[in-house]
Structure 1
Amino acid sequence: MSETGESHQRRLTRNVNELLQELRVAQAGVQILFGFLLSIAFTDKYASISGHVRVTHLVTVLCAAAAVAFLTAPAAWHRVLFRQGRREEVVRTGNAFALVGLAFLALAMTGTVLLVVEVILPTWAAIVVGALALVVFSGLWFVAPLSTKGAEHRERP
């Protein structure tokens, strides 16, 4: 039993459920983004875009595909390992997959912002806006949580 009176198995079950619930939010968004990115290649305008925009689009599509793979992997692991007593492994691996998936999603979102801004503004401005998008995503999703975690540990006796 933990300090809260929760058994190890109950805690693992809760952790799996929380992980899968959190991933549902990210999965929906990344799947919509992936579909949007795929549809771009089938537009009339795509035939006339420059080579570097095509490369940006391809890299962005690949990042979105990687995000889909990593963000859906925990659900697949849970289903495959269901009732085998391996919840701890599902939680540990699922957490790692979720973090990698979020990193790829941040890159895909950054690439999407870059693509859209390249259509509207000069390339140098698009790069600046894309870099700002990367800073915002990585800052909110990784840097801020890690910095607050460090602050918590410093305050504990």
Structure 2
Amino acid sequence: MSEAEESEQQQLARNLGELLQELRVAQAGVQILFGFLLSIAFTDRYAHAETYIRMTHFVTVLFATAATALLTAPAAWHRILFRHGRREQIIRNSNRFALAGLVSLAVAMAGTVLLIGEIVFGGWLPIVIAGLVAVAFGVLWFALPVRDRSLPEGSSAGSTP
């Protein structure tokens, strides 16, 4: 059955299934990152870390926590509202949660790179590298898809006719 032949409810069900599948990929990554960040606080080296390192760690944990909450919220919304004819609302809000969760995850990843870089190298280099990581996530996850959204269906900015 092509997309044109789907009923509105079939399309909504497919969209929701695709969204939840995409979130499973992101959830695994954020859960591993979150576990890693939590474990850092229980090391001997962390006990002697400077305030800057501790603050960077805490802010990074907060962004990982936000990513976890935002990327798992669609499953909770679906579970609570799925038999109440609210599929369109679930998809709309879940899309917003997913995008905000990806932003939070990108910040948490850049913060983790900054944190590890500060412990390994110190100085300005970790700040530059974390900035480049943040830019890479921004370009790959947001700027390129937004650019391609304005192109005709089936084409890509990098392809030739």
Do the two structures share a fold, i.e. TM-score over 0.5? Answer: yes
Q: Deviations over 1:21-78 (max 9, x none)?
A: 0000000110110011011000000011111111100000000000000000000000
TM-score, normalised to structure 2's length? Answer: 0.91
Map residues 1-150 of structure 1 onto 2, 5 A cutoff: 4-150=4-150
Decide whether the 8 Å contact of 2:118 with 2:126 is kept in 1.
yes
Inter-partner Cα distance in structure 1 for 2:68 and 2:124: 30
Inter-partner Cα distance in structure 2 for 1:115 and 1:3: 46
**Runs of 5+ unmatched residues, structure 2:** 156-161
Inter-partner Cα distance in structure 2 for 1:140 and 1:100: 15
Stretches of 4+ aligned residues off by more than 3 angstroms: none
**Runs of 5+ unmatched residues, structure 1:** none
CA RMSD of aligned residues (A): 1.4
Structure 1 position 150, deviation (Å): 2.3
- Which secondary structure state, in structure 1, belongs to the residue aligned with residue 145 of structure 2? helix
- Worse-superposed segment, 111-120 or 99-108: 111-120
Q: 1:3 to 1:66 in 2, by over 3 A?
A: closer
Inter-partner Cα distance in structure 2 for 1:52 and 1:113: 14
TM-score, normalised to structure 1's length? Answer: 0.93
- Which secondary structure state, in structure 2, belongs to the residue aligned with residue 4 of structure 1? helix
Give me the identity figure in percent.
59
Inter-partner Cα distance in structure 2 for 1:118 and 1:73: 33
- Which secondary structure state, in structure 1, belongs to the residue aligned with residue 124 of structure 2? helix
- Worse-superposed segment, 134-143 or 116-125: 116-125
- Which secondary structure state, in structure 1, belongs to the residue aligned with residue 4 of structure 2? coil
Inter-partner Cα distance in structure 2 for 1:88 and 1:107: 29
Q: Which amino acid aligns with 1:107?
A: V
Structure 1 position 3, deviation (Å): 6.5
Q: Which amino acid aligns with 2:133?
A: A
